[in-house]
């Protein structure tokens, strides 16, 4: 469905270097890495918000990395995106905001069926109580849930999420994770940029760990990637059955004694790490209770 080949991006210096991965229908890919590693830049290149310096982004075999006009509009029929930077919310109701996921042009008047679909998604996410609230008055977490609903309302074939758990309490994080699991079972391909390694373990079929290879040039490469469906006996897959918890859970990253030690990881990612084994059969709900 989606394939990235030798993707590179540069500004005054190189930011992304030879990124390669593929994603099939129903698969979830988690992108991990420290702040500034290039995760958001990668997502923007995939979506065409910024143009890759070189390489290909293939959607069903068609390169969309430099698509424009009607070709780009057709691409967005199949893709939904939740950004990290939410900007200033429109002074419209949450229900109206969600209908924009069906009608990207704000001048279009939503149909009755649009409101019905929007109401259904709000109900699925347990945020019906926000339906009539003005988006400009919502908290950061409430707005995040509404924007997630806006992305889901058109039932995309590919869903791209940039830190969707930001500003959310554990209950809403769990709601989103369960929804992503359900979407995956329905055939939706999902890419999620996250700082939560436990979420990646809970969700992912594949993990892409991006790290800087030259701090002076801020160049990022894929440190490694794991396909859990194929690599369960690979040392790098076993590496992902442990979680390195830093001082804050949101800043934690993966680590494991089989591949890298604490000192190496700490120097690589710039956070103090304590390795904590969670096992292959990690249960997110149990983890919440333990916290």
What six digits make up the tokens of 39?
């995760």
Three-state SS letters, the chain: CEEEEEEEEECCCEEEEEEEEEECCCCEEEEECCCCCCHHHHHHHHHCCCCCCEEEEEECCEECCCCCHHHHHHHHCCEEEECCCCCCCCCCEHHHHHHCCCCCCCCCCCCHHHHHHHHHHHHHCCCHHHCCCEHHHCCHHHHHHHHHHHHHCCCCCEEEEECCCCCCCHHHHHHHHHHHHHHHHCCCEEEEECCCHHHHHHHCCEEEEEEEEECCCCEEEEEEEEECCCCCCCHHHHHCCEEEECCCHHHCEECCCCCCCHHHHHHHHCCCCEEEECCCCCCHHHHHHHC
pLDDT in tens, 109-151: 788 999 999 999 999 999 999 999 999 999 988 999 999 999 9
Q: Looking at residue 148, what is its pLDDT?
A: 93
pLDDT in tens, 35-65: 777 889 999 999 888 888 898 888 888 887 7
pLDDT in tens, 248-263: 322 233 333 233 344 5
Same domain, 149 and 169: no
Same domain, 72 and 116: no
pLDDT in tens, 214-230: 433 344 444 445 555 55
pLDDT at 266 over 80: no
Q: Measure the CA–CA gap between 79 and 154, rounded to whole angstroms.
A: 9
CB 229, CB 205: distance < 8 Å: yes
Residue 84 belongs to a domain: no
- Total tally of structural domains belonging to the chain: 2
CATH number at residue 257: 3.40.50.300
Residue 258 belongs to a domain: yes
Same domain, 211 and 111: no
Q: Which domain holds residue 120?
A: 89-155
Domain boundary among 155, 175, 195: 155
Q: Select the more confidently predicted residue: 210 or 260.
A: 210
Same domain, 124 and 162: no
Reference 203, options 193, 216, 217; nearest CA is 193
Same domain, 68 and 175: yes
* Per-position b or e across 187-220, b if 16+ CB within 10 A of its CB: ebbbbbbbbbbbbbbbbbbbbbbbbbeeeeebbb
Would the pTM count as exceeding 0.75? Answer: no
CB 141, CB 119: distance < 8 Å: no
Same domain, 170 and 244: yes
């Amino acid at each position: 469905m989606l394939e990235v080949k030798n993707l590179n991006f540069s500004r005054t210096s190189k930011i992304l270097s030879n990124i390669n991965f593929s994603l099939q229908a129903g698969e979830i890919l988690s992108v991990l890495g420290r702040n500034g590693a290039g995760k958001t830049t990668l997502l923007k290149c995939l979506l065409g918000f910024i143009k890759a310096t070189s390489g290909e982004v293939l959607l069903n075999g068609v390169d969309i990395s430099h698509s424009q006009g009607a070709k780009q509009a057709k691409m967005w029929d199949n893709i939904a995106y939740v950004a990290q930077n939410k900007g200033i919310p429109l002074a419209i109701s949450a229900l109206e905001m969600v209908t924009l996921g069906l009608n990207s042009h704000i001048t279009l008047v939503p149909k009755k069926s649009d409101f019905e679909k929007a109401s259904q998604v709000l109900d699925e996410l347990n945020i019906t109580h926000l339906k009539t609230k003005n988006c400009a008055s919502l908290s950061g977490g409430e707005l995040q849930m509404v924007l997630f609903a806006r992305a889901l309302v058109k039932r995309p074939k590919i869903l791209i999420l940039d830190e969707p758990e930001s500003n959310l309490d554990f209950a809403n994080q769990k709601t989103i994770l369960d929804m992503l699991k359900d979407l995956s079972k329905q055939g939706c391909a999902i890419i999620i940029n996250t700082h939560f390694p436990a979420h990646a373990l809970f969700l992912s079929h594949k993990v892409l760990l991006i790290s800087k290879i030259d701090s002076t040039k801020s160049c990022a490469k894929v440190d490694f990637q794991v396909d859990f469906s194929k690599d369960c006996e690979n040392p790098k897959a076993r590496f992902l059955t442990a979680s390195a918890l830093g001082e804050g859970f949101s800043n934690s990253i993966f680590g494991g004694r089989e591949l890298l030690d604490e000192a190496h990881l700490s120097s690589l990612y710039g956070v103090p790490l304590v390795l904590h084994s969670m096992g292959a059969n990690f249960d997110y709900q149990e983890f919440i209770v333990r916290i």
